Structure 1
Amino acid sequence: MCEEQNADKSAGGIFGRLCRALSDGRRDIRTTSQEFSALQSNQARVDFAYELLKEYGLFPKPRDNCKNGEVALDLRQEGNNLFKIKKDQLALIKYTDSIAHAENGSEGLSLAYANRSAVLFEHKCYNECLE
């Protein structure tokens, strides 16, 4: 469900929607592209893109709550398996993903944080263990 919601919110999906909107004739695509290319800073480019998205009403809507305890558990177990075979970087990613999917205040959330802290502790990232 969340993957479907995010498909059109990806950079490519938003870019495609913007291109279609620009094709409606309100703005000349070539001129718009030249204006963008002439910008000298990333901040100016972001501001330009922001104004285009605002003008065409293309800002993504906030996504629905994608918390799922079963997904969080599966990710944490994958992290545990990776940690056992010393694939710590991959385990760290799985634990972080588990945190993202775990319900707020759940035991799964606490365990995912604890597991991630264990990986960070192994690598002497003591400050990060507490984050």
Structure 2
Amino acid sequence: MKNDDYSDVVMAALHVLEESGSLPNIERENKCEKRSDKYREEGNIAFKVGDVNRVLEFYNRALMFAPKNSRAIQLAYSNRSAILFKMGQFRACLIDVETCCKLGCPTDIESKLIKRKNEATVRSEMENLSANLLTGYFKDCFKFDFKSNTPIRCASSDIEVMKGDAFKVVAAKDIKVGTPLALEDSFVSSNSEKNVPFSCHYCHKMSEPDTM
């Protein structure tokens, strides 16, 4: 093919599967308040034993099945805001609290939700302040303004490669202590355990709270 557009191939394969009866029958699952309540209750049980990732999974499922404008969807947002708060995802927690309020927060949980909102707001502001301070600090730490080394593109021209019995890297001139000499992207990276439920498994980029 002359380009990377494989849509024709995909549609042809789909047609073959349909004609041969090989396409799996995928049943559509409708909104159901009872199923939403069931998943929310399972999340509540997991919450008591501290299995936070399972809690988040159950509350997400509760939201998936909750009918529009139902009490189930209000409670699902409220409960998910609680686990997000516990996991330190304060911005996401605030978004769920606001969503629950817009949907018409049940009066029996209103005071609890307002308290959570106030606490999450304070924590979020503190988190933003810390992040801004760290960003300013590391911005200078990783500022790497140098003349590139021709044989080693990620390295400074302050060093050079010498050939002999073996290749070795040596200083090309007197180098001040603390001078950065090379900077390159990591070959391998891993995500922190607490961020796994909120980030891409491929690039580790954090998801926006309102797209969870």
Same fold (TM over 0.5): yes
Correspondence for 1:113: 77
SS, match of residue 56 in structure 2: helix
Q: TM-score of the superposition, structure 2-length normalised?
A: 0.36
Correspondence for 1:48: 9
Q: TM-score of the superposition, structure 1-length normalised?
A: 0.56
Which of 90, 95, 98 is the matching residue for 2:62? 98
Aligned counterparts of 2:92 and 2:11: Cα–Cα separation in 1: 33
* C-alpha RMSD over aligned residues: 3.0
Shift in alpha-carbon separation, 1:128–1:51, aligned structure 2, 3 A:
farther
Question: How far off is 1:50 after superposition?
Answer: 3.6
- Identity across matched positions, percent: 27
Identify the structure with the greater helix proportion: 1
Correspondence for 1:85: 49
Aligned counterparts of 1:46 and 1:87: Cα–Cα separation in 2: 42
SS, match of residue 88 in structure 2: coil
**Alignment coverage as a number of residue pairs:** 90
Question: How far off is 1:128 after superposition?
Answer: 2.2
Write out the 4+ residue segments of structure 1 that deviate beyond 3 Å after TM superposition: 43-47, 55-65
Question: How far off is 1:52 after superposition?
Answer: 2.5
Aligned counterparts of 1:91 and 1:114: Cα–Cα separation in 2: 13
Shift in alpha-carbon separation, 1:52–1:67, aligned structure 2, 3 A:
same
Amino acid corresponding to residue 85 of structure 1 in structure 2: V
Aligned counterparts of 1:86 and 1:128: Cα–Cα separation in 2: 19
RCO higher in structure (CA 8 A, sep ≥6): 1
Amino acid corresponding to residue 67 of structure 2 in structure 1: E
Correspondences of 1:45-84 after superposition (within 5 Å):
48-53=9-14, 55-56=15-16, 58=18, 64=28, 66-84=30-48
SS, match of residue 48 in structure 1: helix
Q: Which runs of 5+ in 1 are unaligned?
A: 1-38
- Computing the radius of gyration from Cα coordinates, the structure with the larger value is 2
Aligned counterparts of 2:44 and 2:26: Cα–Cα separation in 1: 32
Amino acid corresponding to residue 79 of structure 2 in structure 1: N
